[in-house]
Structure 1
Amino acid sequence: MKVLISLLAAIGLVSPVLADEVKVAVAANFTAPMQKIAAEFEKDTGHRAVVSTGATGAFYAQIKNGAPFEVFLSADDETPAKLEAEGAGLKGSRFTYAIGKLVLWSAKAGVVDDKGAVLKKGDFAKLALANPKTAPYGAAAIELMKKQGVFDSLQAKIVQGENISQAFQFVSTGNAELGFVALSQVWQDGALKSGSAWIVPASEYTPIRQDAILLGKGAGKPAAEALLKYLKGDKALAVIKSYGYDI
């Protein structure tokens, strides 16, 4: 059998390294970069990443309830640490793959100024953000507004998305004039893709350290371990940086 596989590999009918797939739970803010990374990962390793995106808090509940994910890319560092402490994540596998940035964004030019003064003016009807109970970017937005003393006056205007993707959708479709989203959703290759934005200074909210962890179901699986290694490599880091994240 080994001889047959070697012969087939020699003529290109099978890969000398058996490909595998890895089921990955990915925080919604990291959707676009992960799509690019997954494509490069498959080209370079032969392994396929099957990606599901959503809110970090929702993924935590799913993982605890036995969801088949093997790798988790969270939007914070607390959730992976909790999973590790509870035995659902492998000790020693956790690391920060990106540091997220919060941005106040409007799909229209000229709506959001580069200092965020529009928040204090309050001359808009709806302000979108992700559910702060399940999405770290939503929690960061609430923290910022409270720090700036505008939360009480804006609370009635807030519309919550289930996750950061839905918050982005509210703004991009015009259902909310502006909203707090992840910089990665509106930024690529060093520039804002459209609209107007205020990149919130990092000093205004608790750092959004985004950690990855190998889950129990991924232990000993080549594709899962390969993906975590790949995320630390130059190709993946270049993609991550291009979407505005810090490393």
Structure 2
Amino acid sequence: MATADYKDKVVLITGGAQGIGLGMAQAFGQAGAQIVLADADEEAGGEALARLQNLQLQATFIPCDVSAETDVVALIEKVKDAYGRLDVLVNNAGIADPFAGKLDEMPLSEFDRTLAVNLRGPMLCAKYALPLLRKAPHPAMLNITSTRAFMSEPDTFAYSASKGGLEALTHALAVSLAPDRIRVNAIAPGWIETGPWQKESERYEPQHTREDKAQHPVGRVGEPQDIAEAALFLCSEKAGFITGQHLVVDGGMTVKMIYT
């Protein structure tokens, strides 16, 4: 999976302690990067750090709620103090399983909290990481959105809105930060199975039916490694002519027509 593109580079991954974030952290680490995991779940963060260190990868963990400005300021200050640089920012932290109920039953607090983490968080991280990214020779920012930015299941108002907003924030940042040579792109994952990449208390063995797999033209459900491969490319110098774009990584699920 890994290449040598990230030797000695510093990569900050929010929501990096579990699931897709942890998969990306491992991949960037295997590519030579020094990884900073930021996550609000300290139990998961400790386990993730041990996992990466057991693989002889360079990593640190910093607790952080990305929706809290003070937390984000402290996070970037700690990165600056520890490394003095930042080459790649991956905005992955998000509430993946928010309230899913009827519109007239949804508490406003649930909507606000989801947007605070999934959309306000990436904005805050981008804002406060900017001075460090400006100093990097080939800086890159990556936002992890979702295919739910383009299509919806019923009663997923907050999640879909937050990911749609993050798609728009991606191209706004790409245009705005172009004078600073900072490329900004997004990956929109589809169904990614993260069971084996959770903390121990929530880990499970995936069980996928034939129908689950058949929904995907490639014939299987996605894995964190699939997103990691795309992330390694988009944040590398090999993607130097790509900015303001989103890459859908979903096994073809969103282009398959389904009739009922």
Do both share a fold (TM > 0.5)? no
**TM-score normalised by L of structure 2:** 0.28
**TM-score normalised by L of structure 1:** 0.29
Larger Rg: 1
Higher normalized contact order (CA 8 Å, seq sep 6+, divided by chain length): 1
Structure number with the higher strand fraction is 1
Structure number with the higher helix fraction is 2
